[in-house]
Structure 1
Amino acid sequence: MGMVSGKTAIVTGSGAGIGRAAALRFAAEGAKVVVCDVDVEGGKETAAAIERQGGKAIFIEADVSRVQDVDALITRTVEAFGRLDCACNNAGIEGRIAPIVEQPIDNFDRIMAVNLRGTFLCLQAEIRQMLKNGGGAIVNLASVAGLIGFPGLAPYVASKHGVNGLTKNAALEYGKQGIRVNAVCPGGVDTRMLDSLARQSTGGEKTTREMMEPLHPIGRIGTPEEIAELIVWLCSDHASFVTGANIPIDGGFVAQ
């Protein structure tokens, strides 16, 4: 028996990176998985990988910044699997690096639309459905940038601080109705997003590892699979007394 056997889980932004690793881990631990992304090819690849490993998954294309897409995601999930027990709100973008006075407004708006509005819309729709089920567990993807500042990344930092705030509020509002809500705050993780930030920061002069590994006391960056382990654990009954937490998983980064 897996940690989430018999449960249904949605993972947004699961066409690659942490989202894909989380979707695969949910399936390995016995859940039926709804893979969601705007990247159709990547999302279908994730769902196919789950099926190849003997799991059960469907892919649903959705832009989490759009109310109608999020509502349709929940409707189609329930049509396919009958209920919603777990959700990982992972979809997010990093945008461009620039000081606040040089940040384009459209960059700020797009980051907030996906990272913060998207998480809010998903929380609304997921919680409505979980209330019908009698409970559930949600994990939001924040970041160490939701706990501290990073020069040049003000829109991203603001969005992830907002995700951590939403997490606390949702946990307080729905804990007595059987819904737990937590956030994970990864440090540097080997993903395309981190590669993009490294290229922007160094003008392509340093690799992601050259730039990021010295910043982590553990001496390396993390893997998507390590973050996925925490996500699935938080959605399992093993974490039944954990809610409202913003949990660093960062190789000691914010302990410095």
Structure 2
Amino acid sequence: MGGRMSGRVALITGGAVGIGEGAVRRLHAEGAKVVIADVQEEAGRALAAELGPGVLFARTDVTREEDVAAAVDAAVERFGGLDVMFNNAGIMGALGPIDKTRTADADLTIAVNLRGVLLGMKHAARVMKPRRSGVIISTSSPAALIGGVGAHVYSAVKAGVIGLSNSVAAELRPYGIRVNTIVPGAVVSAMTAEVVAGGVDDLAGAEEALGRTCFMGRPLRPADIAAGVLYLAGDDAAFVTGVVLPVDAGMTGAGGTSPFASGRYEEPVALLGPAASEG
């Protein structure tokens, strides 16, 4: 199978559903061998069976270092190496006011969303450094950059993913390893459906709910994020490291409503008041 990822091996945590599934499908379609590392066995095994022998499911709880290490080892043993590590597994985790936050919920959120990313980087690096090549991508969130759009602990750990990625990018650059972060906007997925619709299976409800507030005519879908992952993983991004790539229809960079798109200032005018001062 040809394609931009031909001859390469990718491991995707949280690869059984949602954004991870989209990335599995896209990288596989571009020729990569892919390891799906996820706790969701039924969905993960079904996806691997659908896509064929070039895709392996490895049951992986990213809070357990032995699981993450075993998934990386499985990629090496089954497919001969590891070229791309996509740390994507995540949960919404602890929800609620800060003064009522349950510490156990916070600890689990940190364990999955930040410690799991650190473990993925650690074990990817031990394979990639001797080969002096590789790509590590991790999923953050607009909640890392904008207050009020995510739960408190989730926002904190997703900001931590960016800081961790940039720090590791500086360390691994001399080894030819690129480390970047992707920031998806609200995506039609099980996680989003649980928050905005009738539950994890209500993808149609999520599509409808997100469609009412989307910036670009339709909600983001996993395939949109997968396109960003493909870019960061591929040769077109050969000199791209230590960056945060938003795939969010401008939510983090252009979240306001422009007065020049409609209404009073849609046609050009000049406000030429007193020239003395803007203040």
- TM-score, normalized by length of structure 1? 0.92
Alignment of 1:6-17 (within 5 A): 6-17=7-18
Spell out, residue by residue over 1:190-235, the C-alpha distance to the aligned partner (whole angstroms, 9 max, x if none).
00111112149xxx9xx43454334432243200001011101211
Residue equivalent to 1:47:
48
Aligned residues with identical type, % of pairs: 40
Distance between the aligned counterparts of 1:208 and 1:41, measured in 2?
Answer: 22
1:113 has 2:111 as partner = yes
In structure 2, what is the equivalent of residue 138 of structure 1?
136
SS in 2 for 1:253: coil
Say how many residue pairs are matched: 250
Code of the residue aligned with 1:190 in structure 2: it is V
2:42 partner SS: helix
Which residue matches 1:122? 120
Question: Partners of 1:97 and 1:78 in 2: how far apart?
Answer: 38
The structure whose RCO (Cα within 8 Å, separation 6+) is larger is: 1
Q: Distance in 2 between matches of 1:175 and 1:102?
A: 42
Q: Which moved more, 1:137-146 or 1:117-126?
A: 137-146
Q: Give the aligned partner of residue 225 of structure 1.
A: 223
Corresponding residue SS for 2:125: helix
Q: Which runs of 5+ in 1 are unaligned?
A: none
> Quick check: 1:35 aligned with 2:67?
no
Structure-2 separation of matches of 1:216 and 1:107: 30
1:237 corresponds to: 235
Contact 1:111 1:156 in 2 (8 A): yes
User: Could you tell me how far 1:133 is from its partner in structure 2?
Assistant: 1.9
2:25 aligned partner, one-letter code: L
Q: CA offsets per residue over residues 91-125 of structure 1, 9 Å max, x none?
A: 00002431111221111111100000000011000
Show CA shifts across 1:62-97 (max 9, x none): 111111111111112111111111111110000243
Unaligned ranges ≥5, structure 2: 256-279
In structure 1, C-alpha distance between the alignment counterparts of 2:139 and 2:72, rounded to whole Å? 19
Residues 220 and 251 in structure 1, CA contact (< 8 A), matched pair in contact too: no
Q: Check whether the contact 1:100–1:152 (CA below 8 A) recurs between aligned residues.
A: no
Q: Greater share of helix residues, 1 or 2?
A: 1
Measure, in 2, the Cα distance between the counterparts of 1:28 and 1:88. 16
Deviates more, 1:210-219 or 1:112-121: 210-219
Larger Rg: 2
Verify: 1:60 aligned to 2:61, yes or no: no
Q: Report if the CA contact (8 A) 2:185-2:251 is conserved.
A: yes
